[in-house]
Chain A
Amino acid sequence: MPKIKPPARSPRVDMTPMVDLFSVLLIFLLLTASFRPQEAAIISSPYSVSEKQAPDHDIMTIIIDKSGKVFFNIDNGRDTTTHTRINVLTEMAKQYQVNFTKKELQDFGNLASFGMPMANMKKWLDVPETKDKEKFQVGIPTDSVDGRASELAMWIRFSRLANVNTEVAIKGDGETNYKVVKKVMDMLQANRVNKFNLVTNLEKQEVTLKDLPK
């Protein structure tokens, strides 16, 4: 008897469902994506058990890197038409007598964290390449000069004035000296900020009744 041959099948797999699935995923990711903004410094946050999410809007972030350099970031507020960033910079410009063009203000509104003395702000905004911008990020001066409040204190004050709902997040590197953090906290407290959000990474730790010492 001749063997029954199974009908020859094409080894091809129909890819259509796979494509469908991938399309759906891709569209979902595209719509939900919020791109990670360029941070002024690389920060490795300390760990904590806190599960509270960082607020999306109305937040000013003070970034403190390992070497103690301080960077600042403020968002445009819940309603982006208020242009909080631009308002803050306009006030700062008045304070430090720097003139910004309309384009520079607009650019500032779209950028993220920054850290440079006000004197260099204009240069930083004028440089078109992101890579060239980096070398201006030397940190905001935190020392008061000639009895005048420090630049960081002014940034904090004007940000508070521009948006009263602003909360404060401190994003410090774990290895930062506490002295710097304390200085920043004191500055914030002088501006009537008593509630801080310390940015941390989540690390679960479970403690039960068994852990109670005898």
Chain B
Amino acid sequence: MAEIIQEEKGKKGGKKRAKKFSTHIDMTPMVDLMCLLITFFMLTTAFSKSKVMVITMPEKDQKDQPKDQPKIPAWRTLNILLTDNDAVYYYIGQADPRKPPLPTLTKTDFSKNGIRKVLLDKNRDLFTQIVTFRDKRRSGKLVVADTTADQEIKKMKKDDTKGPIVLIKADDKAKYKDIVDIIDEMAICNIASYAIVDIQPAELEMLKTAPK
């Protein structure tokens, strides 16, 4: 009530004039609301789509087909064995129980100086070739389309005769992450040929006696 009286006083009985309304509307609540909505949509939108790593497995041989496996020189074969606790073992050549002694396993890990060093060392030529090619493209010395570059790199990989042929074998204790990591290393080191194959009984034996 007091307020009303006060207002009456303020007018001092002057001429009555229509009160001027400002044409401005206060937008602040609207902005608040919009902010909220935008935040909500930003958070719920699947903005970054997940990435995929493509791997092509060798076709399983059917029983009625004769086994015709390509001959791989033993010195090029790099066997990587994966087992529990993210351990990585590797050996070069072939483990044939009929032809003892079995090769010894070397233990390494997924760190920068672990398996990557081994792979890079083995794949020196091809790696240098591909990285120089990519650097040339990046620095602008060489201008080719993406698809052409991909084909070029594919051809380099195909023509490579010195790099390792990596056979990835994991036992039942290995984690899925290990497999993804090792395939990732193949991509990082530009290994031309690699495959995931089943682990052999002889290799399981070797893992048992391998250094911990």
Instruction: Give CA–CA (A191, B117) in the complex, Å.
Output: 37
Instruction: Give CA–CA (A48, B110) in the complex, Å.
Output: 13
Question: Nearest-CB distance from B137 to chain A (Å)?
Answer: 14
B180 touches A198 (CB 8 A): yes
Picked from B31, B45, B56, B189, the residue with its CB within 8 Å of the CB of A194 is B56
Picked from B26, B42, B176, the residue with its CB within 8 Å of the CB of A178 is B176
B82 touches A200 (CB 8 A): no
Stretch from B3-11, B93-101, B121-129, B158-166 forming part of the interface with A: B121-129
A18 within 8 A of B: yes
User: When A25-B38, A207-B120 are in contact, do A194 and B184 touch as well, CB less than 8 Å?
Assistant: no
Which residues of A are found within 8 Å of B121, using beta-carbon distances?
A: 212-213
Which residues of A are found within 8 Å of B35, using beta-carbon distances?
A: 22
B183 within 8 A of A: yes
Instruction: Give CA–CA (A182, B35) in the complex, Å.
Output: 47
Instruction: Give CA–CA (A88, B35) in the complex, Å.
Output: 43
B117 touches A34 (CB 8 A): no
User: When A19-B34, A49-B187, A207-B189 are in contact, do A176 and B57 touch as well, CB less than 8 Å?
Assistant: no
Number of B residues, CB within 8 Å of A: 55
Picked from A16, A22, A50, the residue with its CB within 8 Å of the CB of B38 is A22
User: When A25-B38, A179-B172 are in contact, do A52 and B46 touch as well, CB less than 8 Å?
Assistant: no
Question: Nearest-CB distance from B143 to chain A (Å)?
Answer: 21
Stretch from A71-79, A113-121, A129-137, A166-174 forming part of the interface with B: A166-174
Stretch from B47-55, B63-71, B72-80, B200-208 forming part of the interface with A: B47-55
Which residues of B are found within 8 Å of A53, using beta-carbon distances?
A: 49, 51-52
Instruction: Give CA–CA (A12, B176) in the complex, Å.
Output: 59
List 12 A–B pairs whose Cβ atoms lie within 8 Å, in order of A's numbering.
A15-B30, A29-B41, A45-B50, A48-B53, A48-B181, A49-B184, A49-B187, A171-B50, A177-B176, A196-B57, A198-B55, A211-B116
**Which residues of A come within 8 Å of B, CB atoms?**
12, 14-16, 18-19, 22-23, 25-26, 29-30, 32-36, 45-55, 64, 169, 171-182, 185-186, 189-190, 194-202, 205, 207-209, 211-213
